[in-house]
Amino acid sequence: MGAPLTAGRHFFSCRLAHMLLEGKKGLVVSVTNKNSIGWAVAEAAHNQGAHVIVGAQNERMLERVGELVADYPRMSAVQVDFGIPSDMEALAERVKNDFGTADFVVHSAAFAQREDLQGRFIDTSREGFGIALDVSAYSLVSLCKTLEPVLADDASVMAMSYLGSTRTVGNYNVMGVAKAALEACARYLAVDLGPRGIRVNVLSPGPINTVAARGVKGLTDMITYVHDKAPLKREFGQQEVAGSAVYLMSDLSKGVTGQIVFVDNGYNVVGM
């Protein structure tokens, strides 16, 4: 019984001696600034050997992202708005021209109108509901549909969610519904793309201080509470999410699809 275990350890030590994403090529869309979870993911992927195209939603954000990627030899920036079909088509063409095919795609985008994140969920407007679901959930479907021809076999797709998808969270409201839809979309996409070995998963970080998260009233209190109550009594942030993302991009996760991977120090398992 001892020999197989030794051989197994030797195999993994040899494999892990190399960068996990060496030679892989992919996308992280979208990034707002250096504190974005998407940026931490893009930087971690690059540091593990990947070539990364980093998306920005508009011209103003593209300038910021361009400054971020300037010091990274295997990174480049692109402007892409999920709501503009021509931007999506241009993104697929960019992947084809730069990479041929993409080995990973990270969807890191969400939006809801500020007034729909406060007060009572029941007061959500029809317009606000549609905007939140379109930008935060349907955009993943649209992204996968557009990029499907340029996704490599065994590619990895992932999106970013939050615990508010399955539990009510104050001042999260319609975004919780949108994240629930996002997670359901990921499961159905995992089935559609699975025959080619393409896996689709969701990362669910705890509350982290980012520009996007600051739209949720009381964010600082939420972060303190989770850090205090979670099983792991320490802070967590963008880097912990990036580490889990690298795992899902890598060949180490080839048997994982349709899953929600929590990165919250275990807070999601705690009851009273």
At what angle are helices 37-47 and 238-249 packed, to 10 degrees? 50
pLDDT band at 127 (very low <50, low <70, confident <90, very high): very high
What digits encode the pLDDT tens for the residues 129-159? 999 999 999 999 999 999 999 999 999 999 9
pLDDT in tens, 96-113: 999 999 999 999 999 999
| pLDDT for position 215 | 60
Q: Is residue 209 part of a domain?
A: yes
pLDDT, residue 216, reads 66
pLDDT of the residue at 197: 98
Q: What whole-number distance in Å separates Cα of residue 162 and Cα of residue 207?
A: 8
Specify the CATH number for the domain of residue 104: 3.40.50.720
Contact 217, 175 (CB under 8 A): no
Give the active site residue among 138, 162, 188, 225. Answer: 162
Is 272 a domain residue? no
To the query of whether residue 162 is one of the catalytic residues in this protein, the response is yes
Q: What is the pLDDT of residue 52?
A: 98
Q: 3-state class of 154 per DSSP?
A: strand
Tokens 């905007």 appear where?
Answer: 131
pLDDT score recorded for residue 7: 44
CB under 8 Å to 17, separation ≥6 — which residues?
A: none
- Are the CB atoms for 147 and 80 separated by under 8 Å? no
What are residue 38's phi and psi, to 5 degrees?
A: -60, -40
Q: What is the pLDDT of residues 197-243, one digit of tens each?
A: 999 999 999 999 775 655 666 778 888 899 899 999 998 999 999 99
- For all residues of the chain together, what is the average pLDDT? 92
Q: Which domain holds residue 198?
A: 2-267
Within a domain: residue 92? yes
- Kindly report the number of other CB atoms within 10 A of residue 76's CB atom: 16
Residue 138 known to be catalytic = no
In a domain, 205, yes or no: yes
Asked whether residue 59 is assigned to any structural domain, the reply reads yes
| List 172, 225, 247, 267, catalytic entry | 172
* Number of structural domains found in the chain: 1
Q: Which of 109, 125, 223 is nearest to 174 (CA)?
A: 125
Q: Is residue 61 part of a domain?
A: yes
Flag whether 198 is in a domain: yes
Where residue 5 falls (left for φ over 0; alpha for ψ -120 to 50; beta otherwise) is alpha
Locate all alpha helices (DSSP H) within the chain, ordered by sequence: 2-16, 37-47, 59-69, 85-98, 126-133, 139-147, 174-193, 219-229, 238-249
Report whether pLDDT(8) > 60.
Answer: no
